[in-house]
Structure 1
Amino acid sequence: MKISVSTPSRICLFGEHQDYLNLEVISSAINLRFKAEGSRRDDRIIHVRLSGENINREEIIDLDERIVYENNRDYIKSAINVLMRNGYKLETGFDIFMDSDIPIGKGMCSSTTMVVVFIKVLLELIDHEDKDNPEKIALLGFEAEVTEFNEPGGLMDHYSSAYGGLLHLIFNKEKTVVEPLKTEIPGCFILFDSLEDKQTTKVLASAKYPVLEALEELKEYGINSIRDFIDNEDNLICLEKLSQDKLVKVKANIDNYKILKEAEKMFNTEVDSVKLGELLRRHHRNLRDGLEISTPKIEEILMTAYENGALGGKINGSGGGGCCYVYAYEKDSKKILDKVCAKGYWGVILKQDSGVRVDK
């Protein structure tokens, strides 16, 4: 008997580059999904075939042999190792076919969704109770993708994919708090691919480590988090202690945290479309000018969309290329899509979607 599962990609509305600072994120799952179909074998071989954009490969893993990584992103093998290390019993082999309609290497968490859906299908095939636990699946995915290879990513993608819907995620050091947001967002989001590949880990490191180093330097002044500048504005004077490069990045993160709190307040009442667009534009300016993760092509896409009615937009994911999205009224969405795509870019109108699930 075969079982089919899938998990969604996401857009980050607010809090980009803040999950690894133990701050907050507002994200939405979208209807671009990574799918997996699995069935049990009579031997101890896990045979995985992957298909999709720029993916066409297979892996054969013998559970009776030590699983050795061939590279630092060997996520299929790391997921199996993490599951077995955490006590999940893989007593037989499996045939697993995976495919995706998510843009690869474009800031759309394609690697995270691959890991999450692979863990989901394995838990379903061994009929473990954690198969219906989105938090457990998210944490196992993070361990397999980030912790196992000491990469600089955060938890946003794993939680967003596993839970689905519109989420407010609070990344405390002790535990991630998941708050589903029930507010309906009027209008729609339109995703665009800049057709530029990016080096996720390199961009993450250039945006992440200077801020972490700055916070470490400011500890002697009682600063431990970006929140400290919001809770007590007298702390802003401590920014004078930082080098110019770190100062710019910290200031961008301070304003982005303020933007998220404004958006959170709005999402808990009623969404004002114009205000939402303004907050997205402001968030993107901080990502572009402060963290320096935008590109000329991303800017061309956003400007073209604004000229044709888009209310706001931002880069999506770690940046340095990849995808961006805009927010617009439904009536303007087709025109915006056509005008941007006429310049040679790929785009799609998005819908909000559910989290990791069994499809059949």
Structure 2
Amino acid sequence: MRSFRVRAPGRICMFGEHSDYLGLPVIPAAIDLSISIEARPRDDSEIHVNYPDIDDSDVFSIDTEVKYRHRRDYLRSAFNLLFRRGIKPDHGWSLRVTGNIPIAAGLSSSSALSVASVMTFSTMAGFELQVQDLAETAYNAEVIEFGESGGMMDHFASAFGRIIHVDCGLSYETKRLPAVVEGLVIGDSLEQKGDTVGDLRRIRTEIENGYNILSNLIPGFDQRTTPRDEVFAVSAENNVESISMAKTTLLNRDITRHAFQLLRTDRPDPREVGNLIDQHHHLLKTVLKRSTPKIERMIDAARAAGALGCKINGSGGGGTMLALAPGKEMEVAQAIRGAGGRPYHVKIGSGAEIEEV
């Protein structure tokens, strides 16, 4: 087999932060920052991996499942998931893993690595995965294999590409959205995020506790379908944190539904999209407490420079923010830099892909 290169993109979450692991709909988009894996055949039975960006390397055999060197050893877990399905290469390979996605910044660098790794090992084995299988296998390699708490949004965004709507119920029905969205600027706060996995577990536990309380108040309560007015009517006097967080997920659910209708059109009004982004961020900031003072300064600066909408991007607690600023990209980038952030002008990009080298 010839040498090849796999590229899997990072993503932004436009709508539905902290929704996928609750079975609620999300609207992510792939961006033109990515992880690449270049693969060259060897004449032995070993996988040799070089990670020049982080000065690391790895070697393991293709003849058996491999032990993990540490938690979140995603390339090895991708190999193991496919090995268990009988999908494995018949000779060794040398891999070179590089990327330009900021690490631990809310742009899903780890999910892009997982998607790229699964696509790489399946290609080595001469097996072409369907795009949904690619996304689900990457999710299993990153999340289920290590007993973590995230959802599938990131993996679907990286595998499918462009803007998609994912119904994170049992079937993970995915729809490609035709909307052209331009003027996206990412601002990296350069703040090191804390324990993302621990944060997700804590937030999920609180919200699910809130759902349990609501189930006792509303027969047949379902976070996917119960009208928010019905929920607010029976819980107006209840200020327990888990209830407040649960109600916030229903507000985010309805914002995502509205955004879905907008983004089903080719050229949605960017002001309407920006307004929904602002509404989404307000809930992430005030109830879920996912922003930071520095990110708020960056958002304020971006809005003052002409951004139509801004939000925290990813799990929050540091990392990046997203600004929608068509025609004002340079001004907004400069404002973010002036507030101490590192700006990236990004475009909506294609999904995971492979090419010969």
TM-score, normalised with respect to structure 2: 0.94
Q: Distance in 2 between matches of 1:150 and 1:287?
A: 25
Indicate whether 1:250 and 2:246 are aligned.
yes
In structure 2, what is the Cα distance between the partners aligned to 1:242 and 1:149? 36
CA distance in 2, matches of 1:304, 1:102: 23
1:215 deviates by 1.5
What amino acid is the match of 2:101? I
TM-fit CA distance, 1:238: 4.0
Partner of 1:146: 143
Residue 71 of structure 1: how far off its partner (Å): 2.2
Q: CA-to-partner distance for each residue in 1:152-210, whole Å, 9 max, x for gaps?
A: 0000000000000110111112x11110011222x411001000111211221222111
Structure 1 residue 219: deviation in Å? 3.0
Q: Helix, strand or coil for the counterpart of 1:31?
A: strand
**Contact 1:169/1:178 (CA < 8 Å) preserved in 2?**
yes
Shift, 1:272, TM fit: 1.3
**For 1:89 and 1:227, how far apart are their aligned partners in 2?**
39
Q: Is the 8 A contact 2:89 2:124 kept in 1?
A: no
What is the distance in 2 between the residues matched to 1:72 and 1:161?
22
TM-score, normalised relative to structure 1: 0.93
Amino acid aligned to 2:167: I
Alignment match of 2:203 (pick from 192, 204, 207): 207
Change (3 A) 1:241 1:148: farther
1:41-71 Cα offsets, whole Å, 9 max, x none, are: 222211111133xx22111112345522232
Q: Distance in 2 between matches of 1:12 and 1:66?
A: 34
Hey, what does 1:61 align to over in structure 2? 60
SS of 1:160 mapped into structure 2: helix
Q: Quote the sequence identity (%).
A: 31
Structure 1 SS opposite 2:56: strand
Structure 2 CA distance for partners of 1:340 and 1:62, relative to 1, 3 Å: same
Whether the 8 Å contact between 2:187 and 2:341 is mirrored in structure 1 is yes
SS in 2 for 1:154: coil
Q: Which blocks of at least 5 consecutive residues in structure 1 are unaligned?
A: none
**Residue 95 in 1 paired to residue 98 in 2?**
no
1:1-360 equivalences under 5 Å are 1-52=2-53, 55-64=54-63, 66-130=65-129, 133-173=130-170, 175-185=171-181, 187-198=182-193, 199-220=195-216, 221-230=218-227, 233-239=229-235, 244-269=240-265, 270-330=267-327, 332-360=328-356
Shift in CA distance, 44/238, structure 1 to aligned 2, threshold 3 Å: farther
Whether contact under 8 Å (1:28, 1:167) holds in the other structure is yes
Q: Distance in 2 between matches of 1:316 and 1:212?
A: 22
1:88/1:183 CA distance change after superposition, 3 Å = same
Q: 8 Å contact 1:228–1:235 — kept in the other structure?
A: no
Moved more, 313-322 or 332-341: 332-341
User: Secondary structure at the residue paired with 1:293?
Assistant: coil
Rounded to whole Å, the distance in 1 between the matches of 2:247 and 2:104 is 28
Measured after TM superposition, the shift of residue 6 of structure 1 is 0.2
TM-superposed CA distance for 1:84, in Å, is 0.7
SS of equivalent to 1:352: coil
Structure 1 counterpart of 2:149, one-letter code: P
CA 1:41–1:167: 2 relative to 1, 3 Å: same
Distance 1:172 1:216 in 2: 18
Question: Which segment drifts farther, 214-223 or 253-262?
Answer: 214-223
Please give the secondary structure, in 2, of the residue aligned with 1:218: helix
Paired residues, number: 352
One-letter identity of the residue aligned with 1:139: E
Deviations 1:283-307 (A, max 9, x none): 0010011111110111011000011
RMSD value over aligned CA atoms? 1.7
Gaps of 5+ in 2: none
